[in-house]
Structure 1
Amino acid sequence: MQLKSLENIYHINKKSNVAKWFLFTFLAFVFIMFLPWTQNIKTQGNVNTLFQEQRPQKLNSPIPGRIIKWYVKNGDVVKKGDTILQISEIKDDYLDPLLVERTQEQVQAKKGVREYYNAKISTTENQIAAISTAKDLKLNQIKIKIAQLQNKLKAEQAELTAVNNELKIAQDQLNRQNKMYEEGLVSLTQLQQRNVSYQNALAKKTSAENKLAQTQQEITAQNIEQNAVIQEYTEKLSKTEGDRFQSMGQVAGSTGDIAKLENQVATYKVRKGLYYILATQDGQITQLTKAGIGEIVKDAETIGIIVPKTIDYIAEIYVKPVDLPLIRENQKVMLTFDGFPAIVFSGWPNSSYGTFSGKIIAIENSISENGLFKAIVAEDKTQKRWPPNMKIGTGASGIAILNDVPIWYEIWRNINGFPPDYYQVNTQKNEKK
């Protein structure tokens, strides 16, 4: 009896199809080796926003204070200008409820002092004008008197000249009379008469000289008085000018004090508006760090974070330094985002599912802390739109599209460690075509 198992195990008499299957597999492998393969660079990154004002913003307290009331909670959506919380003062310098009014009263008082000194300056200027006028009048009087004495001096000098002439004539007559007396031609009485005439002429000369000397002394005294008047009024003017400059200094000081106080008033008014912390933009409140009523917040302390409502998303991908020469601006990049299913065929991007298109808009020239170069990818609005419900910080994977080559070339390149072909070369070829 022949067993059926022997017939099923041993196929010696049957024809083999191994050669056919081997040939088919070999031809399929050769065919696959010549299929096109898109070279690419794989990168990792995260979702962010291009504009600074669209990134999560910290809510800071501009002044220290005590929390009085909360108007929001975590997760609330607010609009720009909505009140987040209210705080009150804790510093002794600002506890006075009438601080602004009292400071304004100080301003008004300082302005009154300044007006007083301005009036004093005007009075001093009038005093200076009056002193200058009195000085001019006094000096003019002295000059007139000196001129009168000068005229008197000239008259007395002329009188002295006449007296000298008269004295000379009397002396000649006396000499001749004396000679004639010695010769006996005239009597002693006539000689004595001539002598009396000579003595009278000599007395007139002495009197004229005394008058002339007295007038010269008066002129000298007037000159001294003129100098004394100049000195006196110069001292008065200097003192009055000093008072004026002192008043001007007080006005300048008061002006500075007024400006300082007005600055304080403006600061106090602005500070009053800082008791309410407002939302800087539309968004959602998150990560509130303070709880309850009565807690103290410090100056510039972070209270929470507001996440903007409207965001223009970008992807920040990090490229290895060895791949940096292979990317450029406006280069196409395929992206996948965490939480959004995708089937990716890196060598056949057109066959991938769940990917989103983007373009590189900037490449940073400095290396990041992780040892990679950052490239910023923006949404390609001509292709499939990015998911609208993404969040900042979501993970992103990028595939930078390079040149199309056969699969055998890509395997040969990787075995030999050659870099991929430049995408720019492929672009130039396409433009020529």
Structure 2
Amino acid sequence: MKPKSFENIYHVHRNSRVKRWFYIFMALAIITLFLPWTQNIKTTGTVTTLYQEQRPQMLNSPIPGRITKWHVKNGDYVKKGDTILQLSEIKEDYMDPLLLSRTEDQVEAKKGVRDFYEAKIGTTDAQLEALNSARELKLQQLKVKIQQLNNKLAAEEAELKAANNELNLSGDQYERQQKMYDEGLVSLTQFQQRSVSYQNALAKKTAAENKLAQTRQEIITVNIEQNATVQDYTEKLSKIQGERFTSMGQIESSTGEIAKLESQMSNYKIRQGLYYVLASQDGQIVQLSKSGIGEILKDGESIGSIVPLNVDYAVEIYIKPVDLPLVKPGQRVMCIFDGFPAIVFSGWPNTSYGVFAGKVIAVESNITTNGLFKALVVEEKGKKPWPPQIKMGAGVQGIAILNDVPIWYELWRNINGFPADYYTVKTDKSTQKK
């Protein structure tokens, strides 16, 4: 009889199960090769936001000045419009405490000058109207006088014509009377009477001619007076109009100076409001670069930064150029945020723990300085929400989801060094319309 220890140590006569387990493992391996595997691209990135107003903002001094009082310190939370620090003036052009009131006095003085010239223009207009009326009246008087002289001229021309007729008649009678006297038919007395009549007719004609010449000379004199009157009033009107235009120029100049002074006054008022540096939005004050009281700030110099409180977070991931054709807008990306534990199964993202779903909304066409392309990812609606504890600039690992393929195909692709399959994003009609 063999001892029991021999039977327990040596299993020579027992049936072996190695072959059975080998076939089982082979079957499982073959089945595993046909299981689905999700192709993916692993990337890194940082937490950011899509909107410029939600990024950390620099606090700059709008004017040069001296710090007189701080109202915050590093790490303080502020509301929009809260005072961060107070400045005092350092430029001599703005140090006058009565600068605003004195500028207002200058504006009022310029307005008074403008009102004076406006009143002067009113007086000038009245003078122009009076001169125009006087000119019309004077010209009307001269026209009436010329008309009277023309009538007188016509009457004297008729009188001259009558005198000529009378002279011709007297001349004929004188010649006949002389012949008759020479023949002794009339007496000397009759001949002398006829001679006197002839001399009277001749004198009457001469007087009529003199009156006619005098009337014509008066007409010429009145016409000259009319022209002189027009010239005189034209000079007076031109002078007054020149004064009017000068006043109008002064009004325009005063208006320009008033506008300039009002602009300066408005700038002074705005500048007084810039002595207080205010928070541009709700946020936290960080990285204050100035300390103490009395430091001088230059125009536009940085004071610190304010980090907004309300942020719509996004993720910017960096893609290798070889993987760029595989990433498209609308593609799903699984995000792993730094500081949040995660268990990741590369080929089965749906079974991973601690990852958050996102969607690519844009891929930049320009390569960055690190030789990679940047894509922007936002939270995918309807999935697990992103943790609210993430902060701007935190690190992120991204897994861009591609096609579902069998494991044997993925092994064969990696062994041969082939790239992943090109991926076509499927979008519904509502997304396309949007």
Fold-level similarity (TM above 0.5): yes
Question: Hey, what's the Cα distance between the residues in 2 that align with 1:264 and 1:426?
Answer: 61
Question: Hey, what's the Cα distance between the residues in 2 that align with 1:427 and 1:188?
Answer: 150
Residues 266-286 of structure 1 deviation map (CA, whole Å, 9 limit, x = unaligned): 111111111111111111100
1:368 to partner: Cα distance: 3.0
Question: Hey, what's the Cα distance between the residues in 2 that align with 1:408 and 1:320?
Answer: 25
Question: Hey, what's the Cα distance between the residues in 2 that align with 1:53 and 1:421?
Answer: 39
Residues 6-60 of structure 1 deviation map (CA, whole Å, 9 limit, x = unaligned): xxx9999999877666555544432332221101121221100122111101111
Q: How does 1:86-105 map to 2 (within 5 A)?
A: 86-105=86-105
1:222 to partner: Cα distance: 0.2
Answering whether residue 221 of structure 2 is matched by residue 221 of structure 1, we say yes
Which stretches in structure 1 are left out of the alignment for 5+ residues? 1-8, 429-433
Query: Quick one: which amino acid aligns to residue 94 of structure 1?
Result: Y
Alignment correspondent of 1:154: 154
Question: Hey, what's the Cα distance between the residues in 2 that align with 1:349 and 1:147?
Answer: 118
Question: Hey, what's the Cα distance between the residues in 2 that align with 1:192 and 1:345?
Answer: 165
184-193 vs 18-27, greater mean Cα deviation: 18-27
Alignment correspondent of 1:189: 189
Residues 313-343 of structure 1 deviation map (CA, whole Å, 9 limit, x = unaligned): 1101122333333232222110011122222
Alignment correspondent of 1:406: 406
For these two proteins, the number of residue pairs brought into alignment is: 422
1:121 to partner: Cα distance: 0.4
Residues 54-113 of structure 1 deviation map (CA, whole Å, 9 limit, x = unaligned): 110111111110000001111111111111000000001100011000000001100110
1:418 to partner: Cα distance: 3.4
Query: Quick one: which amino acid aligns to residue 182 of structure 2?
Result: E
Query: Quick one: which amino acid aligns to residue 280 of structure 2?
Result: T
Query: Quick one: which amino acid aligns to residue 116 of structure 1?
Result: F
Q: Is the 8 A contact 2:328 2:425 kept in 1?
A: no
Query: Quick one: which amino acid aligns to residue 378 of structure 1?
Result: V
Alignment correspondent of 1:200: 200
Query: Quick one: which amino acid aligns to residue 59 of structure 1?
Result: L
Runs of 4+ in 1 over 6 A off after TM superposition: 9-18, 425-428
Alignment correspondent of 2:71: 71
With normalisation by structure 2, the TM-score equals: 0.92
Alignment correspondent of 1:387: 387
Alignment correspondent of 1:140: 140
Alignment correspondent of 2:310: 310
Identity of aligned residues (%): 68
1:407 to partner: Cα distance: 1.0
Residues 336-392 of structure 1 deviation map (CA, whole Å, 9 limit, x = unaligned): 111222222211112222111111222233333333332211112422221211110
17-26 vs 298-307, greater mean Cα deviation: 17-26
Question: Hey, what's the Cα distance between the residues in 2 that align with 1:216 and 1:142?
Answer: 15
Residues 260-317 of structure 1 deviation map (CA, whole Å, 9 limit, x = unaligned): 1111111111111111111111111000011110000111111010001111111011
Alignment correspondent of 1:367: 367
Q: Is the 8 A contact 1:401 1:423 kept in 2?
A: no
Residues 181-203 of structure 1 deviation map (CA, whole Å, 9 limit, x = unaligned): 23222233322322221111111
The 3-state SS of whatever aligns with 2:424 is helix
Alignment correspondent of 1:5: none
1:413 to partner: Cα distance: 2.0
Alignment correspondent of 1:6: none
Residues 400-420 of structure 1 deviation map (CA, whole Å, 9 limit, x = unaligned): 111111111012223334332
Question: Hey, what's the Cα distance between the residues in 2 that align with 1:209 and 1:227?
Answer: 27
The alpha-carbon distance between structure 1 residues 76 and 51, as it changes in their structure 2 partners (threshold 3 A), is same
The alpha-carbon distance between structure 1 residues 307 and 361, as it changes in their structure 2 partners (threshold 3 A), is same
Q: Is the 8 A contact 1:366 1:373 kept in 2?
A: yes
Alignment correspondent of 2:6: none
Q: How does 1:4-403 map to 2 (within 5 A)?
A: 23-403=23-403
Q: Is the 8 A contact 1:364 1:375 kept in 2?
A: yes
The 3-state SS of whatever aligns with 1:74 is coil
Query: Quick one: which amino acid aligns to residue 223 of structure 1?
Result: N
The alpha-carbon distance between structure 1 residues 400 and 13, as it changes in their structure 2 partners (threshold 3 A), is same
Question: Hey, what's the Cα distance between the residues in 2 that align with 1:11 and 1:239?
Answer: 142
Question: Hey, what's the Cα distance between the residues in 1 that align with 2:426 and 2:215?
Answer: 122
Question: Hey, what's the Cα distance between the residues in 2 that align with 1:227 and 1:397?
Answer: 102
Question: Hey, what's the Cα distance between the residues in 2 that align with 1:277 and 1:426?
Answer: 50
Question: Hey, what's the Cα distance between the residues in 2 that align with 1:220 and 1:322?
Answer: 109
Q: Is the 8 A contact 1:403 1:426 kept in 2?
A: no
